[in-house]
Amino acid sequence: MQRYYFDHNATTPVSREALEAMLPAFTEIYGNASSIHHFGQAARHLLDEARKQVADALGASAEEIVFTSGGTESDNLALLGGAAGGHLVTTAIEHPAVLQTAGRLAGWSCVPVGPSGVVDPDDVRKALKSDTALISVMHANNELGTIQPLAEIVKLGVPVHADGVQALGKIPVNVRELGVAMYSISGHKVGAPKGIGALYVRKGTKLKARQFGGRHERERRAGTENVAGAVALARAMQTHVDTEALRDRLEHAVLRDIPDAHVNAAGSPRIPNTTNIRFDGIDSDALLIALDLRGFAVSSGAACSSGAPEPSHVLLAIGLTREQARSSIRFSLGRGNTADQVDALVGALAESVTHLRKLSPAYV
């Protein structure tokens, strides 16, 4: 049986280009980048080059890039290190890496988001306090794909951190133009391996270290640098995958062929690879299993929240009922997907939904 992957927002396969770029750091240039001998300095050169390439891709300078283990660590460092002792404002549709970290701060406010899946900058403004130290708003939502108005939020005058994990590689990202103080990225969402990410920290931004044991990363993140991962991230960031036509093909066919299907946040600006579709009367877990048995990998929300007994907090936040949230599926396209695969997915969806609705007491 052939298998097709439509869950690129959870993770992506490592690209051939990234794999080839990182191999020398495992087999030839394997020194510790903090060592002063020949082997260490060779590794340091690779790391410096990767840092510059990542910075150039983001519109930043090399000294503003902190390499981390991924998006979760970058978000944690930004919030715990940038809002320590002050008030934080964030939104109800953030990734758990932001929301759960916010809950460990002394004070924070969570701004609601309506059916559009896009936060209103004026609601963010109303949540500000005299001691607000940081605003954290994701660039693109991981479940809906909705793009948030960062440039308008930056105008409020408070330092802004953006989780850019799902925006990177899908829409243009220039941190200077956005005006953000910090920006999180993750390698395994763009064709690099798991275990590498970065946090952009604008020069002059106050950031307290949250990890100790060395003077790495300009004393902002202790720990031996993942040189191979950094090289792979830098190479992967040079590739852009355009899937908008395939995403639109999928949505149009589903709405045409399957009754009572709805695209969540359809009218909002979205990254071009993501669609979140509700199938009335269907339990998303049952549909996930049915599709997997037919060879199609999709998801019902963030991979970090899989197995949770509660429906997606993002879908509840935009006003869906618990039943509607539980009947929604996220499809996220990427490199390797084709029109033929999309058409096959639509056929499998139509057959699976029809079968499951016959068994569902919730669908009349």
* Dihedral (Cα; 9, 114, 278, 260), 10-degree rounding: -150
CA distances from 139 to 97, 162, 180 (A): 14, 6, 10
Of the listed 19, 222, 255, 304, which one is catalytic? Answer: 304
Rounded CA gap, 232 and 198, in Å?
Answer: 12
Q: What does the block give as tokens for 187? A: 């390698």
Q: What does the block give as tokens for 347? A: 């056929």
Judging by DSSP bridges, how do beta strands 160-163 and 197-201 pair with one another?
A: unpaired
DSSP for 227-245, written as a single string: HHHHHHHHHHTT-----HH
**Catalytic site includes residue 304:** yes
User: Which residue in 17, 18, 50 sits closest to 227, CA to CA?
Assistant: 50
Rounded CA gap, 17 and 22, in Å?
Answer: 9
Which backbone phi and psi does 53 adopt, to 5 degrees?
A: -65, -40
Q: Are 182 and 161 in contact (CB under 8 A)?
A: yes
Judging by DSSP bridges, how do beta strands 274-279 and 261-263 pair with one another?
A: antiparallel
Judging by DSSP bridges, how do beta strands 261-263 and 182-186 pair with one another?
A: unpaired
Rounded CA gap, 129 and 329, in Å?
Answer: 37
Q: Are 280 and 327 in contact (CB under 8 A)?
A: yes
Rg for the chain, CA atoms, rounded? 21
Active site residues: 304
